[in-house]
Amino acid sequence: MSAEQLAARFYPGSLLITPGAARAFNPQEVLAALACHLRGDWGDLGPEDKHENDAALEHGGRLLSAYTRLEDEERLWIITEADRSATTALLPDEY
């Protein structure tokens, strides 16, 4: 990965993963999704949700990204708390 690919737009705080996400996704998949999230690539969200995330970067607020594994359509969410204290990888049904 290049330095540009790793450039984070915000501090993630503590990095956490739920048990379900840890079982469903291998570490490389989670790290790749986390790298996208930190760059502001919000994944499989609609335009309104992406706009809300962009606004939250400027004005504060929680950040949510969603990524879908193509082969089985399993979804991974990554949520960064509004105070940037923690970022959690989880399955949607663990929310």
**Tell me, what's the pLDDT at 7?**
86
- Position 4 in a domain: no
Give 64-84 pLDDT, tens digit per residue: 999 999 999 999 999 999 999
Q: Do the domain assignments include residue 2?
A: no
> Is 6 a domain residue?
no
pLDDT at position 5 is: 52
The number of folded domains in the chain is: 1
- Domain that residue 89 falls in: 12-94
Predicted TM-score of the model (pTM):
0.92
What is the SS3 string spanning 10-78? CCCCEEEECHHHHHHCCHHHHHHHHHHHHHCCCECCCHHHHHHHHHHHHHCCCEEEEEECCCCCCEEEE
